[in-house]
Amino acid sequence: MTGPPARELRFSVRLTPRAGTDRVDGVVDGVLRARVAAPPVDGAANQALIRLIARALDMAPRDVRLAGGQRGRVKVVAVAATHRARVLGQWPGLGV
């Protein structure tokens, strides 16, 4: 017997701060690789990542949240499960 459907879709992102530009590099071994220009100070890189993911998925930043890894290089990003097709269409091979 299975439980209720998941309300969020979660995936891992390996973030490189202070990269000079904000961009998504693609998926490597099921993990999204991203770079942001912001430094990892006072959550600036995390906020830049949220804006980057939201822009790439054509979503509002409020619909993307950091679910884990706030202080590490590997983050866990969560979006509503209703956006599963959009996420996997944008980044095939992503481990969700």
Q: What is the pLDDT of residue 96?
A: 82
| Domain at 8-90, CATH class | alpha beta
pLDDT tens, 20-72? 999 999 999 999 999 999 999 999 999 999 999 999 999 999 999 999 999 99
Please say whether the beta carbons of 72 and 79 come within 8 A.
no
More confident residue, 95 or 3: 95
Q: Where are the alpha helices (DSSP H) in the chain?
A: 44-56, 84-90
Q: What is the pLDDT of residue 40?
A: 94
Q: What is the pLDDT of residue 6?
A: 74
Q: DSSP class of residue 61? A: G
